[in-house]
């Protein structure tokens, strides 16, 4: 690579990194996340966010380039120089921004960008004030950029354990609300690992976590392939036994979990379960059948409202009295379940039928329209006698069995667990069934599927009905969990959140939905300061996943191939280019 | 700028047609539902309007209807300006730029901050014409920048991806921009500074009309005329039409397709910026989520008039604005639905759903739904 090319890359990476750092500062994340200690008082989440842009600029900016099918890395010294320069640019631009804010009359910038507080400026200049702090900021950027680039120079057997170790340590630090109570209940002393006052990992704790995870990575890279091969060579019955045992262990762990982590975190898990159900339902519609539904919240709402109306609830009148809605039954919850499922599935068909012939993006907008219509109708004064209007319905009865209620977080978790297990089982079986195969055929090429005798109308309706049925389960549980429902809980943002879960995890992949829900619902639930930025992060996640990894984090193999058809063709072409060399080498050896 | 790409796939269509016909005979549910739906709607509209117009008490006066109509036209002009952004982009890329409503929001915010400074400087009252020009300039610049950036970051890497991929990205971008505005500028709604010389009414054609509404309608007409001139008379406009016809052939003719796409996003952004200022002047508020619902409604307008066509977007906007302003009262007051204006969004979204179901090509286009 030529010098000018390298310079251009350094500048580009630096500019992107600078935009990132300035964005994080303006959004207020760097200041707000200072409260969250990750390792001692030595590294906070805010510090981490401040360090990431230059680090990533150095790392990504020195990525080897694909030239004519071959990865071409720059010389080690050039790599470090590029890293240093891009990091310095990140620091420099941010420093220029800080200087600008300080130069303008006080409060002039804050009138527009409300997060630009004196505290933020002090954090960015390391508390050193203008001239010294700005120089420190540039040096800080350059050092981290160089570090990021230097990481690239490490051979894989050194770099990988370090990377995994760092990631694991950070994960442990971020899960600081879940691990300490868990370990404490197991009778372990955690004070050496997690600091009781600072909440984050202690410095020795962090070192131990890092050492263990890095060590395990080294071990796995030495032994891993052999172990995997042995598992693959097990006779089928032994493998089934192994799978069964791990499933059983997982079940036992899940059953014990709420008792170990306590009530507050069980509440978070309950919410995770509700979104998991919705994710599984939307996964059938979007992932299996390829129909983008943006009004999915309608089924969630239908489930919740029908549960309330079928199992007794009250509404608040304009003068504040509690009265029963115009139409209300008082069924047992478990009797209501099949009824609600049938009604919601019918609603799904009703919504699906008129839009069947629409193209994908129009379908998305129409379903979005349906979702909004449903919400506005529910909260209108017109239907207030049935739905309770903006105040909604309250006193929804509990799903008690023999006097044992499920409203408290811990019992509720078990209820959710049962429903989720059921939904996962159904999804799993559906995917491999004739129906699932018809869906994937339809998703890949509608005309071809129709020509092969797949009734696309029937299977599209079936997808809508199945998706609606699973979605309404989450609505039912939601009504039971909080006991009162209001239209404010059923906005379009719920639909988009669930979509983000499915997309992030990987369309059509059940483990993907689980991972997506844990990341997008569980993590914000564990760290309160994320709550404010939840939707911002969802938006960014949707864009980033689609641009960089459209198949999602835990991809469904088949779906991945569809999304990467072009890349696959490219890979084929590359292989062809390399092929002669391989045969010559092979021939010489034999 | 109509899309003629579909005709190129004619052979595939003809092969599939008999099959679809057989299926339609086998499963007439769809037809039954559609026919029932249209009869029900027609009956509802007739009965509702009849009852409202013959109300004995609480009858709406002629002046009341007139005000609804004027407001509808102004609202429609705003929708039309936003709808053009959807339409232009759709005409070229065949994708729904879901985040276009946020481009409009950014324009409104930019003009809000400038208006605040102008108010403190006293220029807003001293020289309203110059101030409004400055506001428009700020809004269009900001909206254009965001629209172009959006294209560069979120859409260009996905130019050849399956169709749903850019749509999902666009949803993400919409969410991202909304909550970026919320965390940068605060999530409370902000009162737009009032311009003294825009308060009160002007008499237009013997009707008193609020000055902001007059300004909105005039601005929309000016922008529309300008856009039509730009597309039909300038070289860049010609290039845009060529790219909309066929990207590959256009690039063979020496047109820089990427540049044309960027310009298209920019033009859409400018129109949305103007709409943002007008919206803020009429409603007097800016908030981070102000773009979402108008964005979807403007999309409805674009589809209503036939997406991809400039005149269609303008007309669709006008119709939607009028219907939204008149229909809730006209249809619902008579059958004693309390607070019919709460259901304004239901009317707009119902139109969206109905148009897409019955005439996805727009009310002036074909009734054959596009597939793909």
In the predicted model, is pLDDT for residue B278 greater than 60?
yes
Q: Could you tell me if A145 and A22 lie in one domain? A: yes
Q: What is the pTM of this model?
A: 0.85
A333-355 and A360-378 helices cross at what angle (nearest 10)?
130
| Interchain CB contact of A19 with B (< 8 Å) | no
- Residues in Cβ contact with B99 at an 8 Å cutoff, skipping those fewer than 6 apart: B150, B154, B170, B171, B173, B174, B177
Q: Could you tell me if A147 and A163 lie in one domain? A: no
pLDDT reported for residue B133? 92
Residues B126-146, mean pLDDT to the nearest whole number: 91
- Yes or no, beta carbons of B357 and A541 under 8 Å apart: no
- Yes or no, beta carbons of B167 and A290 under 8 Å apart: no
In the predicted model, is pLDDT for residue B357 greater than 50?
yes
For residues A366 and B353, is the Cβ–Cβ distance under 8 A? yes
Identify from B20, B36, B102, B183 which residue to disrupt to test chain A contact, counting A C-beta atoms within 10 A and taking the largest count: B183
Q: Could you tell me if A110 and A146 lie in one domain? A: yes
Residues of chain B neighbouring A547 (CB-CB closer than 8 A)? 154, 157-158, 169
Q: Could you tell me if A91 and A204 lie in one domain? A: no
- Yes or no, beta carbons of B371 and A359 under 8 Å apart: yes
DSSP assignment, residue A152? H
The total number of structural domains that make up chain A: 4
Q: Could you tell me if A73 and A193 lie in one domain? A: no
A-proximal residues of B, 261-320, CB under 8 Å? 292, 296, 299-300, 303
Which tokens go with B190? Answer: 């902000």
Q: Could you tell me if A222 and A324 lie in one domain? A: no
Which tokens go with A131? Answer: 């001239």
Q: Which of A147-151, A361-365, B235-239, B366-370 has the lowest mean pLDDT?
A: B366-370
Secondary-structure breakdown of chain B: helix, strand, coil percentages, each rounded to the nearest 5: 75, 5, 20
Locate the chain B residue with the closest alpha carbon to A499.
B168
Number of CB atoms found within 10 A of residue B41's CB: 13
pLDDT reported for residue B145? 95
- Residues in Cβ contact with B231 at an 8 Å cutoff, skipping those fewer than 6 apart: B1, B237, B240, B241, B310
| Interchain CB contact of A563 with B (< 8 Å) | yes
Q: Tell me which H or E stretch contains A506.
A: none
pLDDT reported for residue B365? 61
Instruction: Tell me if residue A311 falls in helix, strand or coil.
Output: strand
In the listed set A209, A233, A257, which residue is the last one of a domain according to the structure? A233
A533 to chain B, closest Cα gap in Å: 8
What is the C-alpha to C-alpha distance for residues B84 and B309, in angstroms, rounded to an integer? 8
- Yes or no, beta carbons of A543 and B113 under 8 Å apart: no
- Yes or no, beta carbons of A362 and B160 under 8 Å apart: no
pLDDT reported for residue B201? 78
- Yes or no, beta carbons of B183 and A359 under 8 Å apart: no
Residue at token pair 């039909």:
B232
In the predicted model, is pLDDT for residue B51 greater than 70?
yes
- Yes or no, beta carbons of B23 and A365 under 8 Å apart: no
Q: Could you tell me if A96 and A188 lie in one domain? A: no
pLDDT reported for residue A562? 66
What is the C-alpha to C-alpha distance for residues A181 and B153, in angstroms, rounded to an integer? 43
- Yes or no, beta carbons of A112 and B113 under 8 Å apart: yes
In the predicted model, is pLDDT for residue B15 greater than 60?
no
- Yes or no, beta carbons of B172 and A382 under 8 Å apart: no
In the listed set A206, A233, A260, which residue is the last one of a domain according to the structure? A233
Q: Could you tell me if A316 and A460 lie in one domain? A: yes
More confident residue, A442 or B162: A442
Locate the chain A residue with the closest alpha carbon to B176.
A539
For residues B206 and B63, is the Cβ–Cβ distance under 8 A? no
pLDDT reported for residue B5? 43
Residue at token pair 């372990």:
A188
User: What is the CA A368 to chain-centroid distance, rounded?
Assistant: 22
What is the C-alpha to C-alpha distance for residues A180 and A188, in angstroms, rounded to an integer? 9
What is the C-alpha to C-alpha distance for residues B10 and B15, in angstroms, rounded to an integer? 9
Secondary-structure breakdown of chain A: helix, strand, coil percentages, each rounded to the nearest 5: 75, 5, 20
What is the C-alpha to C-alpha distance for residues B181 and B289, in angstroms, rounded to an integer? 9
| Interchain CB contact of A373 with B (< 8 Å) | yes
- Residues in Cβ contact with B289 at an 8 Å cutoff, skipping those fewer than 6 apart: B105, B178, B182
Residues of chain B neighbouring A457 (CB-CB closer than 8 A)? 23, 27, 30
pLDDT reported for residue B141? 95
**pLDDT band at B214, cuts 50/70/90?**
confident
pLDDT reported for residue A342? 93
pLDDT reported for residue B116? 87
Q: Could you tell me if A290 and A412 lie in one domain? A: yes
- Angle at CA of residue A534, ends A528 and A539, nearest 5°: 165
What is the C-alpha to C-alpha distance for residues A553 and B359, in angstroms, rounded to an integer? 39
Q: In this structure, what are the phi and psi dihedrals at residue B204, rounded to the nearest 5 degrees?
A: -115, 125
Locate the chain B residue with the closest alpha carbon to A456.
B23
Beta-ladder partners of B286: B190
User: B20, B93, B97, B162: which is closest to A357 by C-alpha?
Assistant: B20
CA distances from B350 to B65, B115, B327, B356 (A): 22, 36, 12, 10
> Which range of residues forms the domain containing residue A92?
1-153
In the predicted model, is pLDDT for residue B273 greater than 90?
yes
Number of CB atoms found within 10 A of residue B12's CB: 11
pLDDT reported for residue A587? 35
- Residues in Cβ contact with A83 at an 8 Å cutoff, skipping those fewer than 6 apart: A10, A57, A58, A59, A61, A62, A145, A146, A147, A148, A149, A150, A152
Number of CB atoms found within 10 A of residue A586's CB: 9
Size of interface A-B (CB pairs under 8 A): 197
What is the C-alpha to C-alpha distance for residues A276 and A263, in angstroms, rounded to an integer? 19
User: A374, A382, A373: which is closest to B333 by C-alpha?
Assistant: A382
Q: Could you tell me if A160 and A137 lie in one domain? A: no
Q: In this structure, what are the phi and psi dihedrals at residue A330, rounded to the nearest 5 degrees?
A: -130, 65
For residues A495 and A433, is the Cβ–Cβ distance under 8 A? no
**pLDDT band at B12, cuts 50/70/90?**
very low
The one-digit pLDDT tens for each residue of chain A (590 residues) are 567 788 888 888 899 999 999 999 998 888 888 888 888 878 888 889 899 999 999 888 888 777 766 777 778 888 888 889 999 999 999 999 998 988 888 878 888 888 888 888 888 888 887 788 899 999 999 999 999 888 888 888 888 888 889 999 988 888 888 888 778 877 777 777 887 777 888 888 888 888 999 888 888 888 878 888 887 787 888 888 888 888 899 888 888 888 777 788 888 889 999 999 999 999 999 989 888 888 899 999 999 998 888 887 777 777 777 777 777 777 788 888 899 999 999 989 888 887 777 777 788 888 888 888 888 888 877 777 777 778 888 777 777 777 777 888 888 888 899 999 999 999 989 888 999 999 988 888 888 888 888 888 889 999 999 999 999 999 999 988 888 888 888 888 899 899 999 988 888 889 999 999 998 888 888 777 788 888 898 899 889 888 888 888 888 776 666 666 555 555 555 554 444 443 333 333 33
Q: What is the 3-state secondary structure (H, E, C) of A381-435?
A: CCCHHHHCHHHCEECCCCCCECCECCCCHHHHHHHHHHHHHHHHHHHHHHHHCHH
Q: Could you tell me if A181 and A38 lie in one domain? A: no
What is the C-alpha to C-alpha distance for residues A467 and A345, in angstroms, rounded to an integer? 8
CATH architecture of the domain with residue range B61-358: Orthogonal Bundle (1.10)
pLDDT reported for residue B328? 80
Instruction: Tell me if residue B204 falls in helix, strand or coil.
Output: strand
In the predicted model, is pLDDT for residue B7 greater than 50?
no
In the predicted model, is pLDDT for residue B108 greater than 60?
yes
For residues A399 and A480, is the Cβ–Cβ distance under 8 A? yes
Q: Could you tell me if A257 and A363 lie in one domain? A: yes
| Interchain CB contact of A139 with B (< 8 Å) | no
What is the C-alpha to C-alpha distance for residues B272 and B298, in angstroms, rounded to an integer? 10
Q: In this structure, what are the phi and psi dihedrals at residue B255, rounded to the nearest 5 degrees?
A: -90, 130
Number of residues that this document lists for chain B: 372
How would you label A497-530 residue by residue, b for 16+ Cβ within 10 Å and e otherwise?
bbbbbbbbbbbbbbebbbbbbbbbbbbbbbbeeb
What is the C-alpha to C-alpha distance for residues A70 and A572, in angstroms, rounded to an integer? 14
A-proximal residues of B, 4-43, CB under 8 Å? 12, 15-16, 19-20, 23, 27, 29-30, 33-34, 37
In the listed set A126, A153, A180, which residue is the last one of a domain according to the structure? A153
Number of CB atoms found within 10 A of residue B371's CB: 17
Residues B107-119, mean pLDDT to the nearest whole number: 90
Domain range annotation of chain B = 61-358
Beta-ladder partners of B201: B210
In the predicted model, is pLDDT for residue B367 greater than 60?
no
Q: Can you tell me the ipTM of this complex?
A: 0.85
């Amino acid at each position: 690579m030529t010098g000018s090319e390298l310079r251009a890359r350094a500048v580009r990476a630096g500019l992107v990194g600078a935009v990132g750092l300035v964005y994080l500062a303006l959004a207020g994340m760097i200041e707000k996340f200072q409260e969250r200690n990750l390792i001692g008082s030595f590294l906070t989440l805010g510090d981490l966010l401040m360090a990431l842009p230059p680090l990533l600029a150095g790392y990504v900016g020195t990525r080897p380039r694909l030239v004519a099918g071959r990865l071409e890395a720059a010389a080690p010294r050039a790599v470090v120089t590029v890293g240093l320069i891009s990091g310095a640019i990140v620091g420099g631009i941010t420093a220029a921004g800080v200087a600008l804010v300080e130069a303008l009359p006080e409060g002039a910038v804050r009138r527009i960008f409300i997060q630009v507080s004196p505290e933020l400026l002090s954090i960015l200049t390391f508390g050193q004030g203008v001239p010294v702090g700005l120089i420190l900021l540039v040096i800080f950027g350059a050092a981290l950029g160089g570090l990021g680039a230097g990481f690239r120079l490490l051979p894989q057997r050194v770099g990988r354990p370090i990377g995994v170790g760092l990631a694991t340590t950070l994960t442990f630090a971020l899960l600081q609300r879940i691990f300490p109570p868990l370990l404490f209940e197991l009778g372990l002393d955690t004070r050496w690992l997690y600091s009781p006052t600072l909440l984050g990992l202690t410095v020795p704790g962090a070192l131990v976590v890092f050492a263990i995870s890095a060590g395990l990575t080294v071990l796995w890279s030495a032994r891993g392939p052999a172990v995997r091969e042995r598992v693959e060579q097990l006779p089928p019955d032994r493998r089934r036994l192994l799978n069964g045992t791990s499933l059983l262990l997982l079940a036992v762990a899940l059953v014990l979990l709420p008792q170990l982590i306590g009530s507050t975190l069980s509440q978070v898990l309950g919410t995770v379960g509700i979104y998991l159900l919705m994710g599984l339902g939307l996964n059938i519609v979007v992932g299996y059948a390829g129909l983008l539904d943006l009004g999915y919240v309608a089924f969630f709402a239908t489930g919740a409202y029908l549960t309330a109306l079928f199992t007794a609830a009250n509404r608040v009148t304009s003068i504040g009295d509690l009265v029963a809605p115009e139409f209300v039954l008082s069924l047992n919850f478990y009797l209501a379940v099949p009824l609600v499922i049938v009604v919601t599935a019918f609603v799904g068909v009703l919504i699906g039928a008129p839009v069947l012939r629409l193209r994908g993006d129009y379908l998305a907008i129409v379903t979005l329209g349906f979702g909004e219509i449903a919400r506005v109708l529910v909260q209108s004064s017109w239907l207030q006698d049935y739905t309770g209007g903006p105040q909604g319905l309250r006193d929804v009865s509990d799903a008690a069995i023999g006097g044992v209620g499920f409203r408290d977080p811990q019992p509720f978790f078990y209820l959710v667990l049962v429903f989720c297990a059921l939904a996962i089982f159904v999804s799993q079986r559906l995917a491999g069934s004739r129906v699932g195969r018809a869906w994937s055929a339809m998703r890949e090429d509608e005309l071809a599927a129709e020509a092969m005798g797949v009734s696309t109308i029937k299977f599209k309706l079936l997808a809508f009905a199945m998706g609606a049925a699973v979605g309404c389960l989450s609505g039912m549980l939601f009504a039971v969990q909080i006991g009162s429902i209001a239209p404010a809980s059923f906005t379009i943002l719920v639909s988009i959140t669930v979509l983000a879960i499915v997309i992030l995890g990987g369309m059509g992949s059940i483990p993907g939905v689980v991972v997506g829900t844990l990341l997008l619902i569980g993590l914000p639930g564990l760290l309160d300061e994320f709550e404010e930025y939840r939707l911002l992060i969802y938006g960014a996640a949707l864009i980033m996943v689609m641009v960089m990894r459209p198949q999602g984090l835990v991809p469904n193999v088949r779906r991945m191939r569809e999304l990467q058809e072009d890349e696959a063709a490219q890979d084929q072409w590359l292989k062809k280019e390399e092929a002669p060399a391989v045969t010559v080498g092979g021939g010489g050896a034999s | 700028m109509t899309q003629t790409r579909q005709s190129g796939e004619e052979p595939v269509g003809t092969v599939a047609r008999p099959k679809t016909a057989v299926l339609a005979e086998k499963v007439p549910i769809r037809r039954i539902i559609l026919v029932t739906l249209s009869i029900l709607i027609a009956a509802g509209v007739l009965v509702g309007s009849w009852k409202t117009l013959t109300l004995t008490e609480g009858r709406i006066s002629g002046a009341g209807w007139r005000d609804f109509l004027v407001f509808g036209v102004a609202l429609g002009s705003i929708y039309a300006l936003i709808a053009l952004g959807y339409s232009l982009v759709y005409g070229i890329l065949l994708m729904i730029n879901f985040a276009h409503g946020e481009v409009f929001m950014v324009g409104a915010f930019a003009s809000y901050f400038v208006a605040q400074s102008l108010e403190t400087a006293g220029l807003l009252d001293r020289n309203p014409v110059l101030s409004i020009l400055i506001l428009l300039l700020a809004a269009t610049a900001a909206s254009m920048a965001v629209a172009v950036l959006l294209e560069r970051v979120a859409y260009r890497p996905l130019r050849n991806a399956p169709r749903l991929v850019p749509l999902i990205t666009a949803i993400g971008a919409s969410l991202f921009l909304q909550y970026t505005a919320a965390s940068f500028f605060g999530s409370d709604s902000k009162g737009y500074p009032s311009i003294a010389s825009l308060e009160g009414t002007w008499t237009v054609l013997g009707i008193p009309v609020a000055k902001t509404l007059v300004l909105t309608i005039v601005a929309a007409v000016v922008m529309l005329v300008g856009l039509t001139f730009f597309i039909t008379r300038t070289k860049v406009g010609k290039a845009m039409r060529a790219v909309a016809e066929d990207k590959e052939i256009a690039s063979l003719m020496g047109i820089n397709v990427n540049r044309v796409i960027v310009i298209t996003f920019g033009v859409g952004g400018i129109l949305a910026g103007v709409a943002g200022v007008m919206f803020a002047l009429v409603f007097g508020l800016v908030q981070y989520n102000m773009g979402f619902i108008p964005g979807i409604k403007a999309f409805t307008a674009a589809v209503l008039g036939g997406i991809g066509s400039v005149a269609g977007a303008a007309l669709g906007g006008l119709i939607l604005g009028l219907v939204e302003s008149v229909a809730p009262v006209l249809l619902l007051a008579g059958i004693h639905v309390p607070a019919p204006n709460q259901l304004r969004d239901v009317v707009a979204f119902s139109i969206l759903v109905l148009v897409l179901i019955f005439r996805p090509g727009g009310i002036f286009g074909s009734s054959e739904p596009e597939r793909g």
